[in-house]
Amino acid sequence: MTRSTETETESLPRHTARSVEDLRRRGLLSEAEAVAAARVGERYAVAVTPEMAALVGEGGYDDPVGRQFLPHPAELESRPEEMADPIGDDPFTPVKGITHRYPDRVLLKPVHVCPVYCRFCFRREKVGPGGEALTAAELEAALDYVRRHPGVWEVILSGGDPMVLSPRRLRDIVGALDAIPHVASVRLHTRVPVVDPGRVSAALVAALRAARETAVWVVLHVNHPREMTPEARSACARLVDGGIPMLSQSVLLAGVNDDADTLAELFRTLVGQRIKPYYLHHPDLARGTSHFRVTLEAGRALLSRLRGRVSGLCQPTYVLDLPGGHGKVPVGPPYAEPDQETGSWTIQDPWGSRHIYPPTPDSAQDPEDSR
């Protein structure tokens, strides 16, 4: 490996930092921090793009962006409830690269690499330069699985980050899915427009537009309003202007976005960029991530504070992906509670006061009964 040149250290580095040593050389970790984090870099993948490095600046671990990407010694502390496969993907893997948990949709994971590695990643044991991409034959077998399962209505490209693929390869995959009559929707879950916005080229947008029959959606992973830099906004605008609808997903992370002001600003920023907040994920029980964990009570309290305060467009669904592969469920505040005796309901308004909603007459049918 050649050392970084003088010009690189003076101006914004053009390359992704890929090791603890790289991060130290660029001043993102101090000497002492780099020593303490050395073993983290041996256990988990590390990558910080120049764009994200510029955002972190001098802030280090105290910066809400730095905290997401800079390896920290706390990652070596595993708690008993933490797991290598926190959301139970493994038992739902019928062929390499496919996760089929819900009847109508599958995850298709063509790559295992990402442009950055998030320190809280739920797939941290699987992603990284060690994990190889699907070979052409494996990808074909995965596509064949989708072809053979007419119940699969939607394919979610995940990974790794599918937007690291070249526009040509993305076009091939989108084209192959478009040709499957029962696939009506394709979603890409990605962090690229934020962390490596230059990748969202005209050729990439054209590749996603190649589908004729199938709707193609992009779901952006973004956790803090500062991540929406002018470059990230332009990248998202290129997609939306190109006719690709965008949603966002965020992870609720201690010390990053676990306060109502930050979340309100994040969701308003996204809606202002024509991106609809879709999910706010309760953090998964991935190994070495307990320093990011928030309690469900705190998460619910944050969500109720947002409800009275910001536009309905700015309200994602707060979800938990159940450990063991039992799926995602909303875990947001319970606004409505039934009173078994009277049949009435107690319902909380957006500002926290409770109101009685009257019982429904017996003549009304339970919708389940009428099927």
Ligand X SMILES: *Cc1c(COP(=O)(O)O)cnc(C)c1O
Active-site residue numbers? 101-102, 105, 114, 118, 121, 123, 284, 321, 328
- Residues 268 to 287 in contact with ligand X, rule: CB under 6 A: none
CB neighbourhood size of 68 (10 A): 27
Near ligand X by CB under 6 A: residue from 36, 102, 185, 242: 102
Among ligand X, ligand SF4, none, residue 114 binds (CB under 5-8 Å by kind): ligand SF4
Residue 73, judged by CB atoms within 10 A of its CB (0-12, 13-18, 19+), counts as middle
C-alpha angle 313-314-318 in degrees, rounded to nearest 5:
110
Position 83 contacts ligand SF4 (CB under 6 A): no
Phi-psi region of 339 (alpha: psi -120 to 50; beta: other; left: phi over 0): beta
Q: Is 175 in contact with 205 (CB distance < 8 Å)?
A: no
Contacts with ligand X by CB under 6 A: the residue count is 8
CA pseudo-torsion sign 286, 290, 291, 294: positive
Q: Is 96 in contact with 138 (CB distance < 8 Å)?
A: yes
Near ligand X by CB under 6 A: residue from 18, 25, 105, 309: 105
Q: Which residues of 18-43 are buried (b: 16+ CB within 10 A; e: fewer)?
A: bbbebbbbbebbeeebbebbeebbee
Binding mask 153-182 for ligand SF4 (x = CB under 6 A): --------x---------------------
Position 305 contacts ligand SF4 (CB under 6 A): no
Q: Is 174 in contact with 211 (CB distance < 8 Å)?
A: yes
**Share of the chain residues as helix, strand and coil, in percent rounded to the nearest 5:** 35, 15, 45
What is the rounded CA–CA span in Å between residue 317 and residue 89?
22
Q: Considering only 98-106, 128-136, 240-248, 293-301, which stretch makes contact with ligand X by CB under 6 A?
A: 98-106
Cis peptide before 352, with omega less than 30 degrees from 0?
Answer: no
Distance in Å, CB of 156 to ligand X, minimum: 5
Q: How far apart are the first and last CA of the chain?
A: 67
Position 107 contacts ligand X (CB under 6 A): yes
Q: Is 287 in contact with 43 (CB distance < 8 Å)?
A: no
Q: Return the residue nearest ligand X (CB atom).
A: 101
Distance in Å, CB of 281 to ligand X, minimum: 9
Binding mask 102-131 for ligand SF4 (x = CB under 6 A): ------------x--xx--x-x---x----
Binding mask 303-342 for ligand X (x = CB under 6 A): -------------------------x--------------
Q: Which residues on neighbouring strands pair with residue 347, listed in sequence order?
A: 336, 355
What is the rounded CA–CA span in Å between residue 133 and residue 44?
18
Instruction: Classify strands 105-108 and 154-157 as parallel, antiparallel or unpaired.
Output: parallel
Near ligand SF4 by CB under 6 A: residue from 101, 171, 221, 226: 221
Position 51 contacts ligand SF4 (CB under 6 A): no
Q: Which residues of 345-370 are buried (b: 16+ CB within 10 A; e: fewer)?
A: beebeeeeeeeeeeeeeeeeeeeeee
Binding mask 132-171 for ligand X (x = CB under 6 A): ------------------------x---------------
Near ligand X by CB under 6 A: residue from 101, 109, 221, 282: 101
| DSSP letter assigned to residue 119 | T
Binding mask 182-211 for ligand SF4 (x = CB under 6 A): ---------x--------------------
Distance in Å, CB of 87 to ligand X, minimum: 6
Q: Rank residues 323 and 333 by Cβ distance to ligand SF4 and give the closer one.
A: 323
Among ligand X, ligand SF4, none, residue 345 binds (CB under 5-8 Å by kind): none
Position 99 contacts ligand X (CB under 6 A): yes
Contact residues: ligand X, CB under 6 A: 87, 99, 101-102, 105, 107, 156, 328
Contact residues: ligand SF4, CB under 6 A: 114, 117-118, 121, 123, 127, 161, 191, 221
